[in-house]
Amino acid sequence: MRRLLPILLTLLLAAGMTYAFWPRPVPVDLGEVVQGDLEVTVDEEGKARIKERYTVSAPLGGRLRRIELDPGDPVETGKTLLAVIEPNDPALLDKRELAEAEARVKGADASLSQAAPRLEAARAALEYAQNEYRRKRTLRERGGITESELEDAELLVRTRGEDLKAAQFAVQIAQFELEQAQAALVRSRPEAADSETVNGAEIESAASPGTTTVPRIEIRSPITGRVLHVFQESAGVVTAGTSLIEVGNPEDLEIEIDVLSSDAVAIKPGAPVRLVHWGGDFPLTGDVRLVEPAAFTKVSALGVEEQRVDVVVDFTDPPEKRTALGDGYRVEARIVVWQGRDIIKVPSSALFRQGDDWAVYRVIAARAVLTPIKLGHSNALEGEVLEGLALHDVVIVHPSDKVVDGVKVIRR
C-alpha cells in the first residue's frame, strides 16, 4: 500500500497538470449575417439659420432716437416703427448730399426694375415646373416613367418655389430701399410740409414756437417677422450706413452643415437628411438644396487643418413641428448618400483587414474559420457583403488576439 501511494499521487498530479494546460475554447461574442436595408450617411454637426435676414441701416446721418424694440419682438411690413432719425446739423442740407440722395433714389429704382423681371421669371419657372410635375404624375400612373423621374419633377417644383420666395423677398427689399432713398431725399429739403408720406416712409416736421422746422425720418420694417438683433439701442449720433437693427422671419429656417470636402463629393442635391439631437422629442427631416462649390479651411479640435464644404438643407417638416428651433441653434445631421434594400449585411465589428482585403472569423463546428470577403457599402454598424458569406452565417464580433484560424470557440 505504501508503494502504491506515491504512484497515485504522481498520477493525480499529472492529471491535474494535463487539465490545467489542456486547450480550452475561447469565449467570444457572436453575430449573424442577415438580410435587410442598409443606409450610408454623412454625420456632422450643423446649425439652423434664417434664410433671409435684413439689416436695417441708417439711410443718412443724424441723431438717432432710442430704439424701444427688443430681440424677439414681432414686426410687420410697413407698419412697425423700427427707428427715428432727426437731423444733426445743417450739413444734411448740403447740395452735394442732396445730389447723392437723388443718385441713391435712381440706384434704388434701378434695383427695383431689375428685381421685377426676376420675380416674373421665377413665377413662370414655378408654373412650368408644376405643369411638368402634373404631366409626369399622369405618366407615372400609366407606367410611362420611373418613380425617380417623378421625384426629380417634385424636387424641381420645391426648388422653383424657393426661388420664387427669394425673388419676392428681393422685390420687397428693393422696394424698401427705394422708399428709404426717396425718404432721405425728402429729408434733405427742410421746406417740406409739416407731414407728408413718400412711398410708405412718413416724413414729419417737428416745430416749436419761435424755432425752425426740423424734419425727421421714420424707418419701418421691410418684412413681417421678428427682431433678431438690436445693434444701436441707445440714442446717439449715427452716420449714414450705420447698422441699427436686424429683422427676419424665424419660421423660414434652413440648416447649414459643414462637411469634409471628401464627403461632400458623395452628397447630391435632393438627398434626404435627418436632424437629430436638436432638443426635440423626435427627429426632423429635410432635403439637401445646395452643396456649395467652394471649400474653406477649418482647424479641427485636434489642431488639424481640414478642407470643409457648406451643405444647405431645406426642411420638409412644417414649421409647427419645430417652433422651438431658432436661428443659430445646433443640430446633428445625418445626410443619406446611399440606400440599399434587402441586401446581405454583416456587423461592422466583425470586420478586420487582411492585407488589402477584408475578412471575418466565421464559426463552423464550434471553431473559428478565417474567411476573406468582398465588402460593398458600409456604415459604422453594418457592411454590405458581396462575396464570401451566406445568409445566417455566424461570425465573431470584436475578435481578440486569442482568436486565430481553427481555434475552438464558445459563445461568451
Nearest CA to 289 out of 273, 272, 309, 269 is that of: 269
Average pLDDT over residues 160-181: 82
Kindly list the domain boundaries of the chain, sorted by start residue: 23-38+341-411, 40-50+252-340, 53-248
For 359-386, what is the mean pLDDT?
92
Q: Which cell numbers hold the place of 123?
A: 413665377
Return all residues near 155 (Cβ < 8 A) that are at least 6 apart: 269, 270, 287
Q: 55-59, 96-100, 191-195: which range is least confident on average?
A: 191-195
Pairing between strand 81-86 and 53-57? Answer: unpaired
Of 214, 194, 210, 211, the closest CA to residue 202 belongs to: 194
Amino acid at 221: S
| Mean pLDDT to the nearest integer, 312-336 | 90
- Rounded CA-CA distance 192/171 in Å is 29
Distance CA 66, CA 26 (A): 78
In the predicted model, is pLDDT for residue 125 greater than 90? no
More confident residue, 94 or 406: 406
User: Which three cell numbers, joined as nine digits, stand for 297?
Assistant: 479651411
Name the 3-class secondary structure at 279.
coil
Q: What are phi and psi of 102, to 5 degrees?
A: -65, -40
| pTM summary value | 0.57
Average pLDDT, the chain: 83
The domain defined by 40-50+252-340 folds into Elongation Factor Tu (Ef-tu); domain 3 (2.40.30)
Q: Is the pLDDT of residue 204 over 60?
A: no
* Residue 377 falls in which region: left (phi positive, over 0), alpha (psi -120 to 50) or beta: beta
Q: Is 139 exposed, middle or buried (0-12, 13-18, 19+ CB in 10 A)?
A: middle
What is the predicted pLDDT for the residue at 164? 82
Q: What is the mean pLDDT of residues 321-347?
A: 91
- CB contact at 8 A, 62 and 86: yes
Residue written as grid cell 422671419: 249
- Top pLDDT among 332 and 187 is at 332
> 93-107, 120-134, 279-293 — which one is most confidently predicted on average?
279-293
Rg for the chain (alpha carbons), in Å? 35
- Helix segments in 142-200, DSSP class H: 147-187
Of the candidates 221, 335, 360, 346, the residue with the CA atom closest to the CA atom of residue 285: 335
The tens digit of pLDDT for each residue in 2-52 reads 666 676 666 666 666 665 555 678 899 999 999 999 999 999 999 999 988
Does residue 103 surpass a pLDDT of 50? Answer: yes
Nearest-angstrom CA–CA distance, 235 and 238: 9
How many Å apart are CA 204 and CA 86, to the nearest integer?
10
What is each CA distance from 70 to 66, 228, 231, in whole angstroms?
12, 8, 10
CA 270/CA 289 separation, integer angstroms: 6
Segments in 34-146 forming alpha helices (H):
95-141
Q: Do domains 23-38+341-411 and 40-50+252-340 have the same CATH topology?
A: no
DSSP 8-state code for residue 66: P
Q: 386 or 4, which is more confident?
A: 386
For the cut 50, the answer to whether the pLDDT of residue 111 exceeds it is: yes
The pLDDT score that the predictor gives to residue 150 is: 76
Which architecture, in CATH terms, is 23-38+341-411?
Beta Barrel (2.40)
Phi/psi of residue 175, nearest 5 degrees:
-65, -40
Confidence of residue 395 (pLDDT cuts 50, 70, 90): very high
Pick the CATH number of 53-248 from 2.60.120, 1.10.287, 2.60.40, 3.30.70: 1.10.287
Tallying the residues shown for the chain, one arrives at 412
Answer for the pair 409, 403: CB distance below 8 angstroms, yes or no. Answer: yes
Beta-bridge partners for 239: none
Least confident of 86-90, 212-216, 219-223, 293-297: 212-216
pLDDT in tens, 285-295: 999 999 999 99
Residue 93 in this model has a pLDDT that exceeds 60: no
Q: Residue 331 above 90 pLDDT?
A: yes
